[in-house]
Structure 1
Amino acid sequence: MRTLAASKKIISTAASLLFILTVPAASHAQAPAYPNKPIRIIVAYAAGQGTDVATRLLGEQLSRELGQPIVVENKAGAGGILGTELAAQAAGDGYTLTMGTNATHVLNQFLYPKMPFDPVKDFEPIAMVGTFPMVLAAGASTPYRTVSDVLDAVKRTPGSADVAMPSTSARLVLEFLKERSGAPLFGIPYKGSGSAMTDVLGGQLSLTIDTPLALRPHLAAGKLRALGVTSATASSLVPGVKPVAEQGHAGFEFVAWNALYAPKGTPVEITKALNAAVNKVLAKPDVRQRLLDLGFDPAGGSAVYLGVFAKKERERWAPIIKAAGIRADQ
């Protein structure tokens, strides 16, 4: 006959075993596999713009890869600050992401006097999605065929080849070219590509600096002539056009980009899963071609690469912006 003490020991052991067996099941129930509900990607620009269109393509492909709907939400305003701030305030659970750009995650912090978020401290990098150079283009009726033609002309006659600047990126390219060449280039700011293109095509201005996508139809129609791309090497987005770096300005490079970010605190296993999914999607030939058609060179790579790349971009552009006195409200 068991003693009372022996019976209590058996009951205690059984209870311990039951606890051990049920804890993993409970833990599993508390932490279901990611993702198990729709994911939101915030785009800090208007619907239909390049970043938005590329995000929708990526979202469509990621939805298939991850087995959950991807909802793209546009929150435009303040040069990308409004939507990016909203993403920074979201929970770090992997269900809110943002498509960052060189503006939202590098340039804006040097262009605006106050920022409601920190692009480093408030975000986890996931993966680079796509890049594209800017293009220096001249009206077809101008005599310019190369970057040197323009620089020589303005050195001989300042004001003879003014440049339309439809974006902050265009202005940075112009300032960088002025710094490297010493040429007295003069830029005219515009609120967008449409109005800038109207004046260049109409002959009011000789040159513009814009994206391959914005320039593509006018280059194809022979109304504009591409003089140089700002990538370090030739770009398939503008075939046959030499980089500025290969036209007597070694080291000249400016590349705009889009990259996926998550709010700070997103678990590393989730960012790794997202990075793997993005890279798998970007490796598909049809996706790569569609991105090229949209004006992006497909990218990819690790989260660490994106973090290091953005850090180097900040270190590079901060002194140029400061020296030129560029502000977002100018």
Structure 2
Amino acid sequence: MFRSFPTPPRMLRALALGAGLLALGAHAFAQGAYPSKAITLVVGFPPGGSNDIVARIIAQPLGEVLGVPVVVENRPGANAILGTDHVVRSTPDGYTITLGSASPLAISPSTYPKMPFDPLKDLTGITTVASTSELVAMHSSVKVNSLAELIALSQQRDVTLASSGNGGLPHLAIELLRKASKGKIVHVPYKGAGPAITDAMGGHVDGVVMDLPALLPGVRDGRLRPIVMADDKRSSALPNVPSAKEAGNPGLIAVNWFAVMAPARTPQPVVDKLFAALTKVMQTPRVVKQLQDNAMEPFLQPSTAAFDKFFKDELLRWGAIARESGARVEQ
């Protein structure tokens, strides 16, 4: 018959210490091995828009730097809130991240009455990667060639400007223009960028405010006349179009930025690795050229801490503008 003897306390402590070291070693190995499988880059908008374009430009080179595939997954709906919420609810391990932008991340918290997540608490910022300005463009039949002429016209009659919908960046850019002009600027919201641009090019509204990449085809074929960039500098894609600052309205700043975010509680080593990889990718000449070919520019943060500050400042700025304008989205 075998008898069992109580394990001495010193042996118990040794076994516990050994188990702890094994667990620590396994954790360290897991961190060191990241990434070991494909990464999903979620886009909260349909294919073809600015967010999707940026995501597809960076996905392959990011995968090359990290050594695993980076797969773009479109999850459109509710101004990218649905796709972002999917990422918020994902395991915080760096394998499900999102390519977000100003409207869903910095503006929607102030224009949507019910948000399923708090972008400051439920997301971890990596860095911005690119930016593009909003462009104010008029139908070719409207006799306006400058911001000053547009403002003068708005003081004589209603000037209708289309946007991709209530509560987004183009809408708030129109509110900034309305405030600066003190004229009759009438916001005409559409269900998406496509219908808004189609009606603007068809002359059903006087003009449109949208991300520059979306309006560039209409500008190049002459159906839309570019008036002003809602920025403090010109765009290399349209070097002859003045900035709002040059046009005498330095407050008309509406720049759409694109940022990579991960779920909250993503381990810092994973965040650091993603930041380093994105920094390398966004300085690659072919990536810079692809962005510029699509009327966008690289826009990197010097650190994740710098991005956190930038993000908080954007939330405060656009929140104030949304509250003052009364811009809200009905849900």
Same-fold call, TM > 0.5?
yes
Please say if residues 107 and 318 of structure 2, whose CA atoms lie closer than 8 Å, have aligned partners that are also in contact: yes
Taking the TM superposition and a 5 Å limit, the aligned residue runs for 1:1-330 are 27-30=24-27, 31-32=29-30, 33=32, 34-155=34-155, 157-159=156-158, 161-167=159-165, 168-301=168-301, 302-329=303-330
For residues 24 and 202 of structure 2, the distance between their equivalents in structure 1, rounded to whole angstroms, comes to 67
Q: Secondary structure at the match of 1:186?
A: strand
Long gaps (5+) in structure 1: 1-11
> What percentage of residue pairs aligned between the two structures are identical?
32
Give the superposition deviation at 1:40.
1.6
Partners of 1:138 and 1:326 lie apart in 2 by 23
- After TM superposition, the structure 1 stretch with the greater mean CA deviation from structure 2, 122-131 or 310-319, is 310-319
**Cα 1:140–1:253 shift into 2, 3 Å:** same
State the one-letter code of the partner of 1:324: S
In the TM superposition, residue 25 of structure 1 has moved relative to its aligned partner by 7.0
> What is the CA-CA distance between 1:248 and the residue it aligns to?
1.5
Structure 2 contact 176–251 (Cα < 8 Å) conserved: no
Q: Is the 8 A contact 1:59 1:72 kept in 2?
A: yes
Q: Distance in 2 between matches of 1:175 and 1:192?
A: 18
Q: Quick check: 2:49–2:214 contact (8 Å CA) kept in 1? A: no
The residue type paired with residue 162 of structure 2 is A
1:94-117: CA deviations, max 9, x gaps?
111111211221111111111111
- 1:209-267 deviations in whole A, cap 9, x for unaligned? 12211211221112221110011111113221101121111233110111001111111
Distance 2:123 2:147 in 1: 38
**Displacement of 1:327 after TM fit?**
1.2
SS at match of 2:120: coil
Per-residue CA deviation, residues 38-90 of structure 1 (Å, 9 max, x unaligned), is 21222111233221232122121111001112122221111111111111111
8 Å Cα contact 1:104-1:119 kept in structure 2: no
Q: Distance in 2 between matches of 1:294 and 1:213?
A: 6
Distance 2:88 2:81 in 1: 10
**Secondary structure of the residue that 1:99 maps to in structure 2?**
strand
1:26 Cα offset (Å): 6.5
SS in 2 for 1:241: coil
Cα-to-partner distance string for 1:134-183 (whole Å, 9 max, x where unaligned): 1011122221110110101121x121x32122242221111011122322
Code of the residue aligned with 2:161 in structure 1: it is V
Tell me, what secondary structure is at the counterpart of 1:246?
coil
Q: Hey, which bits of structure 1, 4+ residues long, moved more than 3 A? A: 18-30
**What is the CA distance between 1:200 and its match in structure 2?**
2.5
Aligned-residue RMSD, C-alpha: 2.3
Q: How far apart are 1:198 and its partner, in Å?
A: 3.0
> Alpha-carbon deviation of 1:20?
9.1
Structure having the higher Rg: 1
User: Letter of the aligned partner of 2:146 in structure 1?
Assistant: T
The aligned amino acid for 1:305 is A
In structure 2, the residue corresponding to 1:244 is in which secondary structure? Answer: coil
State the AA in 2 paired with 1:103: S
Normalising by structure 1, what TM-score?
0.88
TM-score scaled by length of structure 2: 0.88
* Pairwise CA distance, 1:24: 6.3
Counterpart residue type for residue 101 of structure 1: S
Counterpart Cα distance in 2 of 1:311 and 1:275: 19
